[in-house]
C-alpha cells in the first residue's frame, strides 16, 4: 500500500519516516524550513524510540494515487488538506486523521465519505528540534485507529495497523474510536492550554493543588457536555477519570511541554478552537455553561494575539 503524509511536521515526519524505514512507499506534503530540509537533504528521527536517518523525501506527482492518506495537519487546516488530498486518494482508499481535537473526522467524511474516514488517537509526543530533525519525546499509550462507518474496509485498516506496528509505532484497531478521541480531548483540554498559559510542562500542573483543581473542573465540564451529546467515555464518571489521569496518564508525560506553548512561542496559531473552544461551542448547542473551558480559551486567544517574540524552547 502507498501512503501519503499530509502535514510533515513532527508527527507527520515520525509516522511517514518510520513507515518508510520499514519498507512502505511513502510520499510527503508539507511546508516551511523543516519540510524543505527533508526534501532537499533528508533528516533524522531520534529520541526514545531510537535513531532513524531519513533520505530525502518525495512529494506526490500529478496523477499519482495513494491507498492511505495520513492527515497530520493542524485541525484548522483539515478542510483545505482534505480537499487537496482527495484527487490522490484511491477509490477504495482511506483518510486517517492523526490529529488533535474535535471535528476532524466529520470534515473528512463530508469530502471523502464516512466509509473512507478513519479516526485516530495519538498519545505520544514529538518535537521538531531543528529543520530536518524530529525527536520523539514521550510515549503514553498505543496509537488507536477505528472506523466511523460500519461499512469501512476493516481488512485494509488492519493492514495499516500491521504496518504501523512493524514500523515500531505501537498501534491497535478499536470499535469505538470516537470514545477514544474524546478521551484524548479530556487529556488535552486539561493540560495543553494551562501549560501554555503558565509556561510549564505537564508534570508541574499535577504537582500543585491549584492547577489540579482547575484541571478537575475542566474535565468535569467536558463530562457534562459529552453526556448531553450522548458520547460514551471510557470512565463512567469525571472523578474516576481524573484519578486515572493523575496517576496513570500524566506521569509518563510529565516532562512534555505543551504543543500550544510551542505554538505561542513561535507566534503560530494554536488548536484551542478544536479543544476547549469546541467544548464551549458544543455546550452552547445543548444549553450548558462551561466557564472554566471558556476562561482558558479566552486566555489562549489573548496570548495568540500578542505575537510573542520567538524564544528557544527549554532543553533545545
User: Lowest-pLDDT range, 43-57, 255-269, 292-306?
Assistant: 255-269
Beta strand 43-47 with 66-71 is: unpaired
Q: How confident is the model at residue 208 (pLDDT cuts 50, 70, 90)?
A: very high
CATH of residue 238's domain is: 1.10.1040.10
For the chain, the average pLDDT equals 94
pLDDT for the residue 309: 53
**Span 119-136, pLDDT tens digits:** 999 988 898 999 999 999
Q: What is the mean pLDDT of residues 179-194?
A: 96
**Span 153-176, pLDDT tens digits:** 999 999 999 999 999 999 999 999
Q: How confident is the model at residue 308 (pLDDT cuts 50, 70, 90)?
A: low
Q: Is the pLDDT of residue 314 over 70?
A: no
For residue 293, report the phi and psi dihedrals to the nearest 5 degrees. Answer: -65, -35
167/196 same-domain check: no
159/199 same-domain check: no
63/112 same-domain check: yes
Return the C-alpha cell found at 100: 488533535
Q: What is the C-alpha to C-alpha distance for residues 186 and 216, in angstroms, rounded to an integer?
A: 10
Alpha helices in 230-275 (DSSP H): 238-244, 259-265
pLDDT for the residue 260: 94
pLDDT for the residue 62: 87
Q: Is the pLDDT of residue 312 over 80?
A: no
User: Of 119, 123, 164, 170, which is closest to residue 146 (Cα–Cα)?
Assistant: 119
Provide the residue range defining the domain that includes 166: 3-175
295/148 same-domain check: no
Taking residue 42's Cβ as centre, other Cβ atoms within 10 Å add up to 14
Question: Which value, in Å, is the radius of gyration of the alpha carbons in the chain?
Answer: 19
Number of domains in the chain: 2
Q: Is the pLDDT of residue 313 over 70?
A: no
Give me the residues paired with residue 147 across strands.
118
pLDDT for the residue 316: 42
30/142 same-domain check: yes
The one catalytic residue among 184, 229, 307, 311:
184
16/156 same-domain check: yes
CATH of residue 55's domain is: 3.40.50.720
156 is catalytic: no
pLDDT for the residue 255: 84
Amino acid at each position: 500500500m502507498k501512503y501519503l503524509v499530509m502535514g510533515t511536521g513532527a508527527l507527520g515526519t515520525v509516522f511517514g519516516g518510520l513507515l518508510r524505514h520499514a519498507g512502505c512507499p511513502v510520499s510527503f506534503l508539507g511546508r516551511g524550513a523543516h519540510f524543505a530540509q527533508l526534501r532537499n537533504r533528508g533528516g533524522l528521527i531520534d529520541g526514545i524510540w531510537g535513531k532513524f536517518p531519513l533520505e530525502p523525501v518525495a512529494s506526490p506527482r500529478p496523477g499519482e494515487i495513494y491507498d492511505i492518506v495520513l492527515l497530520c495537519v493542524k485541525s484548522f487546516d483539515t478542510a483545505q488538506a482534505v480537499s487537496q488530498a482527495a484527487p490522490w486518494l484511491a477509490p477504495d482508499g482511506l483518510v486517517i486523521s492523526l490529529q488533535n481535537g474535535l471535528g476532524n473526522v466529520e470534515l473528512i467524511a463530508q469530502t471523502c465519505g464516512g466509509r473512507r474516514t478513519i479516526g485516530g488517537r495519538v498519545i505520544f509526543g514529538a518535537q521538531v528540534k531543528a529543520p530536518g530533525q524530529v525527536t520523539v519525546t514521550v510515549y503514553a499509550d498505543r496509537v488507536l485507529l477505528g472506523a466511523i462507518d460500519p461499512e469501512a474496509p476493516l481488512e485494509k485498516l488492519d493492514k495499516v495497523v500491521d504496518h504501523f506496528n512493524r514500523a515500531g509505532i505501537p498501534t491497535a484497531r478499536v470499535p469505538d474510536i470516537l470514545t477514544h478521541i474524546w478521551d484524548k480531548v479530556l487529556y488535552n483540554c486539561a493540560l495543553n492550554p494551562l501549560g501554555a498559559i503558565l509556561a510549564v510542562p505537564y508534570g508541574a500542573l499535577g504537582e500543585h493543588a491549584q492547577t489540579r483543581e482547575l484541571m478537575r473542573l475542566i474535565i468535569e465540564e467536558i463530562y457534562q457536555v459529552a453526556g448531553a451529546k450522548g458520547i460514551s467515555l471510557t470512565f463512567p464518571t469525571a472523578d474516576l477519570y481524573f484519578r486515572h489521569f493523575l496517576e496513570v496518564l500524566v506521569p509518563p508525560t510529565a516532562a512534555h511541554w505543551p504543543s500550544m506553548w510551542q505554538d505561542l512561542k513561535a507566534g503560530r496559531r494554536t488548536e484551542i478552537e478544536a479543544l476547549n473552544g469546541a467544548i464551549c461551542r458544543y455546550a452552547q448547542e445543548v444549553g450548558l455553561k462551561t466557564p472554566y473551558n471558556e476562561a482558558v480559551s479566552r486566555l489562549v486567544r489573548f496570548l495568540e494575539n500578542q505575537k510573542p517574540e520567538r524564544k528557544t524552547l527549554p532543553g533545545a
